[in-house]
Structure 1
Amino acid sequence: MLYSVPDYYNQFSCIADQCEDTCCAGWEIMIDAKTLQKYKEVEGGFGNCLQNSIQFRRGSFKQYNHRCAFLNEDNFCDIYTELGASMLCDTCRKYPRHMEEYDGVRDLSLSLSCPEVARIILSHKERVRFLTKEKKKESEQFEDFDFLLYTKISDARNCIIGTLQNRKLDVNVRAAISFALAHDLQNRINSQEYYTMDRQINRYKTETVVDYMIHKLELYQSKEAERFKIIRKQFSLLFRLEVLRKEWSENAKLAFEQLYKNGWREYIKKRRRFLSYMRKNEELGISYETILEQLYVYFTYTYFSGAVYDENAYGKMKLAVISPLIIQELCQARWQENRSLTFADIVDIAHKYSREIEHSDINLKKMERLFGKKKEFYFEKVLISLLS
């Protein structure tokens, strides 16, 4: 079994009650079958508490005011306190660690939805390296797994991450080139021309093609008024999704008003000031471009290879591109409101976005569906959002 992890993976350590958020509120926590059986066998007063606070048929903890029934007033877990770490369910024991599974391969990552993880990822100044290690473990058999397609998608992901980390180029140009590669790759997936993918991927690694793409992408620059109309519609995607936390929905609506209510001229003027401010913002302790790079890389690494299951590499790359774009818009709205933007602000925005999007299968599926239907997510529109 081959395991892959980002180089910051082992830096994480839960900061417990020092965290400004809690992973025990705001979403349904599912319990694995083995732990559910353990809970059924607990006796005494706490056993009664377990019986009354778990939905055994559904396999989840009950919630009160959107908080897990076992999350106490001090933001500690009563199960951990009363029964110890061995009695935590898989979800609670593993979070924010995340795993994507393929035939013979496991991609491990940390979830951006955790504030501490968001700090680790967004403060990472160097290019992220992905470490692989082989462990002697019997591979789980995946029926109908297309290993040939997986190898092509995996090679494409490596190429895309390399492009996203090419710091000789503007970070949004890197994202645009990566987006173009995914678009071209999808055409070959649709026609099942797998044998041509290696040549296509290798072309995107050459300086000649990169220079050609930079020149070609100039068509999508300096279209700020058109970008205003597109990004406003792309941002509106948030209002079509399942809401996990009411305050998230309210803050998104306030940000929308803050950004777009005064029309395109005012938006462009403020956006130029915001980008200028961020380029000079020493409080961040890291360049704004590097923060954006880490966001693009995070979403690409986590989701792109999943295209082996639905043959939708282009949709996965749209998620990896649109997510940082929306986070940028939310950052600008926060800056407009406060006339400043701190690193803590960006961590707050990124982790809250991740909680709402990444921890709802309904939202992830709906986003991919809308990416394929709505004009604001067409190839040229996304390029304008990235480059203008």
Structure 2
Amino acid sequence: MLYSVPDYYNRFKCIADQCEDTCCAGWEIMIDPKTLQKYKNVKGGFGNCLQNSIDFHRGSFKQYNHRCAFLNDDKLCDIHAELGSAMLCDTCRKYPRHMEEYEGVRDLSLSMSCPEVARIILSYGDRVRFLTKEKESESEPFEGFDFLLYTKLSDARNCIIGTLQNRTLDVKLRAAICFALTHDIQNRINNQEYSTMERLINRYKADKVVDHIIHKLQSYQCKEEERFKIIQKQFSLLFRLEVLRTEWTDATRSAFHELYGDGVKKYLTNRKHFLAYMSQNEELGIPYEIMLEQLYVYFVYTYFAGSIYDENAYGKMKLAVISLLIIQELCQARWQGKGSLNFGDIVDIAHKYSREVEHSDNNLKKMEKLFGKKKEFYFEKILIALLS
């Protein structure tokens, strides 16, 4: 079995009660069958507590005021305190570690829905490297797994990440080039022209081809007023999604009004000042462009290869690009409201976005569905939102 991890993976260490958020509230925590059986066998007073605070039919912890029944007032876990870490369920023991499974391959990552992970990712100044290691382990064959397509998707992902890390180009251009590449890749997937994908990927690595693409992308620049109309509709996507925390709805609606409530001229003026401010903001500790690069790489690494299961590579790239556009809009709204924006603000915005979007399968599915139906998510519209 081949395992892959980003090189910052082992930097994570839970900060427990020192965390500004908690992973034990705001969502249903499912219990794996093996641990559920362990809980059934616990005796004594705490055994009674387990019996009363677990929904054994659903296989999940009960919640009180949207908090796990075992989360105490000190923001610590009573199961961990009473029974030890070995009695934690798989979800609690592994989070925020995440794994995507493919035949013979496992991609390990950290979920940005955890504030500490968001800090690690956003403060990482180097280009992320992905480390691979082969371990002996049993692997059941994946029925119907198309290994040829998976290989092509892996090659495409490597090319996309390499392009995103090309710091000689503006990060917006890097993202636009990758978006165009994925658009072309999707056409070949749709037509099952897998044999031509390698040639396509190699073309996008050639300097002359990249220069030609950059020239073509100029037609999507300097359309600020059109972008204003598009980005409002793209931002409104958030209001169509399942809400995990009500304060998220309040925050996003407030941000929408802050950004767009005074019309296009005020928005464009604010955006110009915001981008100038961020380009010179030394309080962040790391250039804003590098933060954006790390976020793009995070979304691409986590989701792109998963298109082996639905053949929707284009939708996975749209998720990365739209997520970055919305996160940047939320950053601008926070800056407008405060008059400043620090590193902690960006960590807060990124991790809350991730928590609401990535930890709801319904939201991820709905987003991909809307990406294919709504005009604001068409190829040209996204490029205008990205480049203007």
Q: What TM-score bracket applies, with the shorter chain setting the length?
A: over 0.9
CA distance in 2, matches of 1:300, 1:103: 19
Report runs of 4+ in structure 1 exceeding 6 Å deviation. Answer: none
CA distance in 2, matches of 1:374, 1:54: 41
Residue of structure 2 in register with 1:45 after alignment = 45
AA partner of residue 241 (structure 1): L
Q: Cα offset for 1:139?
A: 1.6
AA partner of residue 306 (structure 1): G
Instruction: Map 1:5-20 to 2 at 5 A.
Output: 5-20=5-20
CA distance in 1, matches of 2:382, 2:97: 31
Residue of structure 1 in register with 2:385 after alignment = 385
Residue of structure 1 in register with 2:91 after alignment = 91
1:64-98 Cα offsets, whole Å, 9 max, x none, are 00100000000000000000000000000000000
Residue of structure 1 in register with 2:173 after alignment = 173
Q: Cα offset for 1:11?
A: 0.3
Residue of structure 2 in register with 1:208 after alignment = 208
CA distance in 2, matches of 1:177, 1:115: 30
CA distance in 2, matches of 1:295, 1:377: 20
2:336 matches 1:339:
no
* Secondary structure of residue in 1 paired with 2:309: helix
1:317-362 Cα offsets, whole Å, 9 max, x none, are 0001111110000000000000000000000000000000000000
Residue of structure 1 in register with 2:131 after alignment = 131
1:278-330 Cα offsets, whole Å, 9 max, x none, are 00000000000000000000000000000000000000000011111100000
CA distance in 1, matches of 2:318, 2:59: 33
AA partner of residue 297 (structure 1): V
The sequence identity of aligned pairs, in percent, is 78
Residue of structure 2 in register with 1:114 after alignment = 114
Instruction: Map 1:200-239 to 2 at 5 A.
Output: 200-239=200-239
AA partner of residue 177 (structure 1): I
Residue of structure 1 in register with 2:35 after alignment = 35
Residue of structure 2 in register with 1:364 after alignment = 364
Residue of structure 2 in register with 1:74 after alignment = 74
* Secondary structure of residue in 1 paired with 2:340: coil
Residue of structure 1 in register with 2:187 after alignment = 187
* Secondary structure of residue in 2 paired with 1:125: coil
Residue of structure 1 in register with 2:248 after alignment = 248
RMSD: 0.5
* Secondary structure of residue in 2 paired with 1:106: strand
CA distance in 1, matches of 2:221, 2:273: 18
AA partner of residue 16 (structure 1): A
Q: Cα offset for 1:45?
A: 0.8
CA distance in 2, matches of 1:245, 1:88: 24
* Secondary structure of residue in 1 paired with 2:28: coil
Count of equivalent residues: 388
Q: Normalised by the size of structure 2, how large is the TM-score?
A: 1.00
AA partner of residue 270 (structure 1): N
Q: Cα offset for 1:140?
A: 2.3
CA distance in 2, matches of 1:164, 1:58: 42
CA distance in 1, matches of 2:213, 2:58: 51
AA partner of residue 356 (structure 1): E
Residue of structure 1 in register with 2:306 after alignment = 306
Q: Cα offset for 1:138?
A: 1.8
CA distance in 1, matches of 2:177, 2:104: 30
Q: Cα offset for 1:141?
A: 1.5
Q: Cα offset for 1:137?
A: 1.1
Instruction: Map 1:158-169 to 2 at 5 A.
Output: 158-169=158-169
2:271 matches 1:287:
no
Residue of structure 2 in register with 1:156 after alignment = 156
AA partner of residue 332 (structure 1): Q
- Ranges in structure 1 where 5+ consecutive residues have no aligned partner: none
2:26 matches 1:26:
yes
* Secondary structure of residue in 2 paired with 1:3: strand
AA partner of residue 5 (structure 1): V
CA distance in 2, matches of 1:57, 1:158: 43
CA distance in 2, matches of 1:329, 1:182: 24
Residue of structure 2 in register with 1:317 after alignment = 317
2:2 matches 1:2:
yes
Range moving further from structure 2, 136-145 or 217-226: 136-145
1:209-244 Cα offsets, whole Å, 9 max, x none, are 110111000000000000000000000000000000
- Ranges in structure 2 where 5+ consecutive residues have no aligned partner: none
Q: Cα offset for 1:46?
A: 0.7
AA partner of residue 182 (structure 1): T
Residue of structure 2 in register with 1:63 after alignment = 63
AA partner of residue 364 (structure 1): L
Residue of structure 2 in register with 1:330 after alignment = 330
1:114-143 Cα offsets, whole Å, 9 max, x none, are 000000000000100001011111222210
* Secondary structure of residue in 2 paired with 1:310: coil
CA distance in 1, matches of 2:64, 2:375: 40
